[in-house]
Amino acid sequence: EEKDQRRIPTKKNIQEALDWLVQDSWSGDSLVFYFSGHGLRVPENTEGDELDGFDETICPVDFTKEGMILDDEINSRIVRPLKEGVTLHAIVDSCH
């Protein structure tokens, strides 16, 4: 029912929103990432950073065509780029 194509939770739109969240943050800012939707876990690819051997994912509405967003990608888009003094709150309501 959403008319604005930028508001549909596709993989591309979610990725762009993740980048937007952190791009202009400064020390003292408090950011919130909230996701409520389907999540899965997939066998870990090559990083070797998962104790259980699985990567967790979130599933955009087009995940069967475009793929899921892995926890490693979320980390690289909204955690690693954080500037010193920025606080990030992540609330994820999904399986895995």
Residues involved in catalysis = 38, 95
Residues, the chain:
96
The encoded tokens of residue 8 equal 């549909």
CB atoms under 10 Å from CB of 14, counted, come to: 22
Residue type (1 letter), 66:
E
Residue entry with tokens 């389907």: 38
Instruction: Tell me the C-alpha to C-alpha distance, in Å, between residue 71 and each of 45, 50, 59, 68, 91.
Output: 12, 10, 11, 10, 13
